[in-house]
Each structure stands twice: as C-alpha cells, then as structure tokens.
Amino acid sequence: MKRLSEIKYSTLDLVPVRENGSAAQSLRNSLDLAQHVEKFGYNRFWVAEHHNMDGIASSATSVLLGYLAGGTSTIRVGSGGVMLPNHAPLVIAEQFGTLESLYPGRIDLGLGRAPGSDQMTARALRRERSGSADEFPEDVAELVRYLGPRTPDQRIIAMPGTGTNVPVWLLGSSLFSAQLAGERGLPYAFASHFAPRFMHEAIRVYRNHFKPSAVLDKPYVMLGVPLVAADTDEQADYLATSVYQRILALMRGQSLVQRPPVKTMDGLWLPHEKEAVGDFLGLAMVGSPQKIRAKLEVLIEQTQADELIFTCDLYEHADRVHSYELLAQVMKG
C-alpha cells in the first residue's frame, strides 16, 4: 500500500480571472504560483486550454507555458491539456517541440479530446478544419510520430519537434481516453477534479487495457483533485464559497469571473443546484491540514494513484499560495 509521502503531487492552474481583475494580473499570478509551488516541492505545473470563458486566461496554452517555463527552473510545466481536435497535430508538435528545445526535460504534453469550449467557439477556432473528437486516436498517433525520431521516408517533419520525444499524456473525464491510453501505453490523467463519478471505472479500464510501451512499462495514473486548504476547517469552508459560486455560474451559463467568498451560500443556490455543485466537487479536499490528510489517505488507499494534481481556485492569490503550501506539508508527511 502506498503512503502519502510516496505520492507525487502537482498543480493544475486554471489561471482564474477575478471580479474587477485583468487577464494580465492572472497571468502574472500564474507565474508567481508556479515559482512558489516549485519551492514547495511540487512535481509539475499544468495549465489547460479553455476558450470563450471570461474567468479563465489560459487559452493560448503553449504561449503561456513558455512564460512559465522561462520563469522557473526545475518544475515540469505542461498542458492539462491541449484540446487536440482544435489543432492540426503538426502545429502542436512544432509548439511543444520548441518548448522542449528551449527547456529540455521539463515539458509535458497532455492531450484532451473535448473542444474546451462551446460548439460555436469550436467552429470559430477550426474554420475550415473538420477537427472532430472521432479523429482523436489518429491525431494522437500522428502527433507522437512528429515528436519521435525522423524516419528515412518521412516527408513532413516538425522543426523543432522531431526527435524531442516530448512526454505525451492522455486526459479524460470519461472511459474513452482511459482505454486509448492503456492500449497506447501512455500515462493517463483523469479529470476527477470536475467529473469524479467515473473515476474508479476509468482507472479500472485504463489498467485492464494497459500494454507496455517504449515510454511506460506499467500503468501510471494521475488524478485531478480540487483543493481548499486553510489553517482551520472554518476558514477553508469560508474560502470554498468562491469555488461554489464559480461552479454554480458554470452550470447556469453565467460569467465565470471569480467572486469573493461569502459567509453563507444560502439564498445563492437552489437545493438541486447545491446538490449538483456537490457532485461536481465530489473529490474536493476542503479543510485544515489534518482533515485533508485523512481524506487523501483514503483516496490513495482506494485508487492506488501514482500522482495527484491539485487545482485551487480561490479569490485571493495569497490564499491560493498558502493552500498549496499547507498541502505540501501534508504530502511530505
């Protein structure tokens, strides 16, 4: 059985934009957070591709990763993930090949098959491309070829990119990518930070379908976990109301800008909405270090995950940094 101190821990930053804030400030906060969690001992720092969302500033994912990698020195940086149906595989190979060439041994390429946006925005992104989730397995294979060694008969190369062998991860919130990651022998990250319902089944499918590959000889599972750590349970419950308001806004199709915490959510949500937000955040670690340690030990016992990647969506940047600091103390035992 694995102990907490044996589990790698990482950060997924949604680069949140707060009420009366700016994208520029959010991007600077992202780098500041990366620099802090690097000192705290976190393994990797990922950002995700989202579009047409006023509360998330990570749409130009590869550009942002260059900024983050340039401002840090040891932590791995990567995409969690790039939504591959939005892009030609060659373009992504060139972008991440460039990043790997500049910051060797520190770049991860996590791939998702969802658009990361609504259908109208997806069309605006793709224009003439047919980009479809149905083409995802072929697109992944094409991208991996571009990043691998150049073959004598290869007519199209990614430059930079060819021969860089940037580590490719498959990400998912359903069972499709779990099976594909297993069959391709790739590491797998499950989006349990917003879709915990299928977590156990996805892990089972991935491990059952796993075939050793050139990059992995056994399955490697990373799980997304929402985090609100504070010095006391009461303070954590208060700070978490910003997260609840954001998920509620997502469900209602409203603005996703971060809202300050409130003393109570009573009157802000209806009973069925409270239940839906609770389901969305079913894996959330909210509380003091002692409370979070106990919940994490249960999670590791149940899943035997290899790594946990935490997302912490608090209103005040200082509260986010402190939350990750407290978690690092928990993970180190």
Q: What is the pLDDT of residues 96-115, one digit of tens each?
A: 999 999 999 999 999 998 76
pLDDT at 132: 59
Q: Which of 227, 239, 208 is CA-nearest to residue 281? A: 227
Residues of the chain with pLDDT > 90: what percent?
Answer: 86
φ/ψ of residue 29, rounded to 5: -65, -35
pLDDT at 126: 65
pLDDT at 162: 95
Q: Which residue has the tokens 């983050």?
A: 68
Q: Would residue 134 count as lying in a domain?
A: yes
Is pLDDT at 63 greater than 80 in this prediction? yes
User: What DSSP line would sit under 170-222, residue for residue?
Assistant: EEESSSHHHHHHHHHT--EEE-TTT-GGGHHHHHHHHHHH----SS-SS--EE
| Domain span at 86 | 4-229+290-331
pLDDT at 218: 97
How far apart are alpha carbons 321 and 102 in whole angstroms?
Answer: 27
Q: Enter the pTM of the model.
A: 0.94
pLDDT at 282: 92
Q: Would residue 70 count as lying in a domain?
A: yes
Q: Would residue 47 count as lying in a domain?
A: yes
How far apart are alpha carbons 44 and 234 in whole angstroms?
Answer: 29
Is pLDDT at 238 greater than 80 in this prediction? yes
pLDDT band of residue 333 (cuts 50, 70, 90) is: confident
- The two tokens of residue 101 are 């060439």
Is pLDDT at 128 greater than 90 in this prediction? no
CATH number, domain containing residue 37: 3.20.20.30
Q: Would residue 282 count as lying in a domain?
A: no
**What is the sign of the dihedral through the CA atoms of 69, 67, 90 and 85?**
positive
Summary mean pLDDT of the chain = 93
Mean pLDDT of all residues in 160-174? 95
Least confident window among 35-49, 109-123, 151-165, 309-323 = 109-123
Q: Would residue 264 count as lying in a domain?
A: no
Q: Would residue 85 count as lying in a domain?
A: yes
Q: Which of 189, 191, 193 is CA-nearest to residue 286? A: 193
Q: Would residue 300 count as lying in a domain?
A: yes
How far apart are alpha carbons 105 and 254 in whole angstroms?
Answer: 40
Is pLDDT at 228 greater than 70 in this prediction? yes
- The two tokens of residue 8 are 């790698």
Q: Would residue 242 count as lying in a domain?
A: no
Question: What total number of domains does the chain contain?
Answer: 1
